[in-house]
Amino acid sequence: MPRKRDGEFAGNKSYLPSKPCAVCGRTMTWRRAWAKTWDEVRYCSERCRRNKRAAAAPDTSRDD
């Protein structure tokens, strides 16, 4: 029997929430480790967290 919840899981993972990193602008996809802190997560990595003060100007050289 097929799953009954159509639209919720269509075979891809795009249903996961995501948002841009406050420093590098890279898209961060929800991780289980962030389940409880997702609203507070602003940086994609420890490095960006440390670089947050250097992020006065938006990064215009991102290429993804």
Interface with Zn ion (CB under 5 A): 21, 23-24, 26, 44, 48
**Nearer to Zn ion among residue 5 and residue 53 (C-beta):** 53
To 5 degrees, how large is the angle CA 18–CA 64–CA 24? 65
Calpha distance 2→33 (Å, rounded): 30
**Nearer to Zn ion among residue 19 and residue 26 (C-beta):** 26
SS3 53: helix
Minimum CB separation from Zn ion for residue 53, in Å?
13
Minimum CB separation from Zn ion for residue 10, in Å?
29
The count of C-alpha atoms lying within 13 angstroms of the C-alpha of 62, restricted to the half-sphere facing its C-beta, is 12
Minimum CB separation from Zn ion for residue 15, in Å?
23
